[in-house]
Amino acid sequence: MSAKFEIFLGINRQYYFRLKAPNGEKILASEAYTTKANCQNGIQSVKAHAPYDIYYKKHGSTNAQYYFTLNASNGQVIGTSETYTTSQARDGGIAAVKAYAPTAPTVDLT
């Protein structure tokens, strides 16, 4: 199995994407989009920004979990990671997005 982006409809009838690693784990998820075209543009933005450290922001959450966001050049969040129990695991998630996102194909589940 290889890494892939999946486009899907939420129960709110909004479009979302997620990036899945080759093992099937979700490593990045989008905000809601009102149209599929905007969702596809979000994926293209992830592909363009993923290789560069400057676009990642590392966060710690209140329950001692770690996560990261991938931001566009304008600062807007284009993807949010799952939560991790250690900062090292979070950094591994960033490495996975950098490795997989630029070339991952998109699967439309809508």
Residue partners of 24: CB distance under 8 A and separation at least 6: 1
Q: How high is the pLDDT of residue 72?
A: 95
Of 20, 25, 65, 23, the C-alpha closest to 46 is: 20
Q: How high is the pLDDT of residue 1?
A: 75
Say which CATH number the domain at 63 has. Answer: 2.30.29.80
User: By residue range, what is the domain housing residue 41?
Assistant: 4-108
Q: From its phi and psi, is residue 7 left (phi > 0), alpha (psi between -120 and 50) or beta?
A: beta
pLDDT single digits (tens) 95-105: 999 999 999 99
Q: How high is the pLDDT of residue 74?
A: 94
Of all residues in the chain, the percent with pLDDT exceeding 90 is: 95
**Please, which pLDDT band fits residue 64 given cuts at 50, 70 and 90?**
confident
Of all residues in the chain, the percent with pLDDT exceeding 70 is: 98
pLDDT single digits (tens) 78-95: 999 999 999 999 999 999
Count structural domains, the chain: 1
Residue 80: CA count within 13 A, CB half-sphere? 11
pLDDT single digits (tens) 30-53: 999 999 999 999 999 999 999 999
Which pTM was predicted? 0.93
Average pLDDT, the chain: 95
